[in-house]
Amino acid sequence: MQNTAARKRKQVPEGYLIVGIDPHKKKHAAVAITQDLTLRDRFKLDNTREGLEFLVRRVRTEMVKSDCRGVMFAIETGGHYWRNIAYFLDEQGIPFRFINQYTLKRRREGKDLNHRKNDYRDSEVAAQLLCTGEFVESTIPQGVYAELRTAHNAYRRLVKERTRITNLMKGRTPLRQPETCTAADAINGSEGYLPPSADQPAGTG
């Protein structure tokens, strides 16, 4: 455990400006701190390529002002809005790491007894977690691996949706018509279904 934490801390170079990002649908929140946890800047940016380019320009300006050797990002991975940021930074060759949303929540609630919650606070906590080595390895899939992940996520969503619809059908089926339950099972593929013949009353063996 200690070796893992030490190895992770070594991934954060000394003298770097640390920027925490709290991603959102329309605007991301960013907080820049030095490794002694001094707040240097905070701002919001649009969830567009122009907004991400503005992000890089602003943090590099702050990097020079703070006399830092480089910049590294900490991105909270709640939802899916972090993907645009991660792929953009990877394209620019800028180092970043992922921050688990549950780790961030526990750290925030442990430090703030009044349970203060805002976008900038989450960004600041994400940057602090990066400084202490409490982050997730940032490996983003590329090429065919990205396509496989997308396909797998789509498959999982379809399975959940099929289960939801099947349960809805079974829940609304009258108990006096058991053959409709069999039909629902047939739609779900759990068993074969043969409709009753014309000369055989429905629901009889």
pLDDT tens per residue, the chain (205 residues)? 456 777 777 788 889 999 999 999 889 999 999 988 899 999 999 999 999 999 999 999 999 999 999 999 999 987 788 888 988 998 888 999 998 888 888 887 776 655 566 778 889 999 999 888 888 766 665 667 666 767 777 888 888 888 888 888 777 765 555 555 555 565 555 554 445 554 555 555 4
Q: List the structure tokens of 1.
A: 């455990």
pTM comes to: 0.65
Q: List the structure tokens of 174.
A: 């009258």
Instruction: Find, among 70, 123, 67, 65, the residue nearest to 99 by Cα.
Output: 123
Helices (runs of H) and strands (runs of E) counted in the chain: 7, 5
Distance between CA atoms of residues 164 and 3, nearest Å:
45
First CA to last CA distance, the chain: 63
